[in-house]
């Protein structure tokens, strides 16, 4: 699987993760993005040892879009600081099978991850082990189809919890299109839908060495967004 690298210098590498590729190695034998990029650096630099690649954030396996990695430890530290203090800005575009309250708003929940099933759920505030999850959204369009309402939504991720966008939208009965893990409309058709209507479309951060504010944008790709085009969104 080919990965589109859209920016690379001595400190960072920015790429578009394809649908279906794990961000890091998992229990499958499929090639993961970290391994792909390490091989790329190894071959480009004609190295004799394994190159360093710092993971700054992650995308779920069925999610595609922009990601940034650090090529040295100092860059990794500075980029990670931006994630923690909110200076790294991440926007997603999503296709939901339902409607969120109003044309824009903020969703705040507390999520608890089950490490055995790898599933997260919304729980009451104060639940042991739960973490606060927050996102902002703007509804770009809503369309009525034969299969029900589809909403085209822009999402700004404030926190970065496990499966956050997927869990929070599904809890409002407006799950991600094609999400066989959290959206009840798709749970029984796992073999048919191998990608979901969620795409990391905009990534902003300060370059760890120069301090330059970098913005990387990409129009969403995938079956869900093709549906929007066919329906003339």
pLDDT in tens, 66-83: 999 999 999 999 999 999
Residues 55 and 183: their CA atoms lie apart, in Å, by: 28
- Which residue in this structure is represented by tokens 């790294």? 88
CA distances from 176 to 117, 182, 191 (A): 19, 8, 17
Asked whether residue 231 carries a pLDDT value surpassing 80, the answer given is no
Q: What is the pLDDT of residues 143-175, one digit of tens each?
A: 898 878 999 999 999 999 999 999 999 999 999
Q: Is the pLDDT of residue 190 over 70?
A: no
7-16, 20-29, 173-182: segment of lowest average pLDDT: 20-29
Structure tokens at 192: 């048919």
pLDDT at 200: 96
- CB atoms closer than 10 angstroms to residue 193: 17
* pLDDT at residue 195 tops 90: no
| Residue 191 confidence (pLDDT) | 55
Chain centroid, CA 170 distance in Å: 16
**CA–CA distance, 58 with 24 (Å, rounded to integer):** 8
Q: What is the mean pLDDT of the chain?
A: 91
Looking at residues 87-94, what average pLDDT do you find? 96
Reported as a pLDDT band with limits 50, 70 and 90, residue 220 is very high
Would the pLDDT of 223 be above 90?
no
What pLDDT score does 197 carry?
95
What pLDDT does 233 receive?
38
- Token pair 């599904």 is found at 170
pLDDT of residue 232: 45
More confident residue, 209 or 190: 209
Calculated CA dihedral for residues 83, 206, 168, 150, nearest 10 degrees: -160
Residue 14: per-residue pLDDT: 98
Is residue 228 within 8 A of residue 197, CB to CB? The reply is no
Residue ranges of domains in the chain, CATH in brackets: 4-230 (3.30.2350.10)
Per-residue buried b or exposed e for 197-220, using 16+ beta carbons within 10 Å of the residue's own CB = bbbbbbbbbbbbeeeeeeebebeb
Show the 3-state SS of the chain.
CCCEEEEECCCEEEEEECCCCCCCCCCCCCCCHHHHHHHHHHHHCCCCCCCCCEECCCCCCCCEEEEEEECCHHHHHHHHHHHHHCCCEEEEEEEECCCCCCCEEEEEEEEEEECCCCEEEEECCCCCCCEEEEEEEEEEEEEEECCEEEEEEEEEECCCCCCHHHHHHHCCCCCECCCCCCCCCCCCCCCCCCCCCEEEEEEEEECCCCCCEEEEECCCCCHHHHHHHHCCC
Residue count of the chain, please give it.
233
């Amino acid at each position: 699987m080919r990965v589109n690298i859209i920016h690379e210098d001595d400190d960072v590498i920015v790429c578009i993760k394809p649908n279906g590729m794990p961000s890091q190695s998992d229990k499958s034998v499929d090639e993961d993005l970290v391994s792909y990029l390490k091989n790329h650096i190894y071959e480009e630099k004609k190295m004799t040892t394994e190159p360093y690649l710092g993971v700054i954030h992650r995308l779920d396996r069925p999610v595609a879009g922009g990601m940034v990695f650090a090529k040295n430890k100092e860059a990794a530290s500075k980029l990670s600081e931006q994630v923690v203090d909110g200076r790294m800005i991440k926007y997603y575009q999503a296709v939901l099978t339902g409607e969120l309250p109003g044309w824009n708003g903020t969703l705040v929940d507390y999520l608890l991850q089950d490490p055995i099933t790898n599933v997260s759920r919304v729980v009451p505030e104060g639940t042991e082990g739960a973490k606060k999850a927050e996102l902002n959204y703007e509804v770009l369009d809503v369309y009525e189809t034969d299969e029900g309402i589809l909403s085209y939504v822009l999402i700004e991720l404030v926190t970065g919890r496990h499966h956050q966008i997927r869990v929070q939208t599904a809890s409002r009965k407006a799950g991600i299109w094609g999400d066989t893990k959290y959206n009840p409309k798709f749970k029984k058709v796992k073999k048919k839908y191998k990608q979901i209507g969620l795409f990391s479309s905009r990534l902003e951060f300060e370059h760890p060495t120069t301090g330059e504010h970098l913005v990387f944008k990409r129009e969403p790709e995938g079956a869900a967004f093709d549906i929007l085009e066919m329906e003339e969104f």
